[in-house]
């Protein structure tokens, strides 16, 4: 039987194969907050073909691939499906951008990005597999096991 946990949508974006437990962080990264007026459905810990996953569906909004690449940090296996008139018309895998700006808070308390200066955090990608990033300002390389707690 096909997955029936969350209804198909007519138009919009489905972010599928999100690492289980990370759906709310995905919404946070996309800047979707309380009071947003899009229709959003979230499924967590759904059984997929390759194990459990979370799913986020955003109706009537097509996210572009740049926008969703940020998601790769916390959901490296996610797929972005663009839906038009109930059909999947595009499917992309997320990929890690070369620079990660304004998403990860630097774990170094003395970093200039944690001071009162209005400077956005910025990390350079040092390696992709496994993912390693380095603060552009102070050189700190965060522990990637804890990356979720550093998402701004
Ligand atoms: N989906 C949806 N509304 C639609 C069409 C698809 O919500 N009108 C959802 C599906 O439930 C699925 C995702 O969009 O979570 C991708 O759909 P599809 O490509 O049909 O599923 P799969 O073939 O299982 O995708 P994959 O191979 O990426 O796992
Ligand atoms: Zn820093």
Domain that holds residue 28: 12-93
* CA dist., res. 4 & res. 2, Å (int): 6
Q: Give how many domains the chain has, as a whole number.
A: 2
Ligand 1 neighbourhood includes 14 CB (under 6 angstroms): yes
Question: Which residues are close to ligand 2, an ion, with C-beta < 5 A?
Answer: 106, 108, 111, 135, 137-138, 140
Looking at all shown ligands, the one closest to residue 59's CA atom is 1
* CA dist., res. 108 & res. 92, Å (int): 34
Whether 87 and 31 map to the same domain: the answer is yes
Ligand 1 neighbourhood includes 56 CB (under 6 angstroms): no
- Residue with the bigger pLDDT between 25 and 64: it is 25
Task: Please give the model's pTM, rounded to 2 decimal places.
Answer: 0.84
Instruction: Give 78-112 pLDDT, tens digit per residue.
Output: 999 999 999 999 999 998 889 999 889 999 999 99
Residue 110 lies in a domain: yes
Please report, for the domain that includes residue 127, its CATH number: 2.30.30.20
- Strand locations in 60-86, DSSP E? 79-84
Instruction: Please name the residue whose Cα sits nearest to atom 2 of ligand 1.
Output: 8
């Amino acid at each position: 039987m096909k997955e029936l946990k969350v209804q198909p949508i007519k138009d919009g974006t489905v972010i599928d194969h999100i690492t289980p437990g990370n759906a709310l962080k995905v919404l946070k990264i996309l800047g979707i907050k309380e009071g947003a007026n899009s229709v959003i459905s979230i499924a967590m810990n759904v059984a997929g073909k390759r194990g459990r996953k979370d799913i986020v569906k955003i109706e009537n909004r097509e996210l572009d691939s740049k926008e969703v690449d940020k998601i790769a940090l916390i959901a490296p296996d996610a797929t972005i499906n663009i839906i038009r008139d109930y059909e999947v018309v595009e499917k992309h895998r997320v990929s890690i951008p070369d620079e990660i700006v304004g998403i990860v808070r630097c774990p170094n308390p003395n970093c200039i990005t944690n001071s009162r200066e209005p400077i956005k955090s910025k990390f350079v990608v040092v390696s992709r597999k496994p993912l390693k990033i380095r603060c552009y300002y102070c050189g700190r390389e965060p522990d990637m096991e804890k990356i979720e707690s550093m998402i701004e």
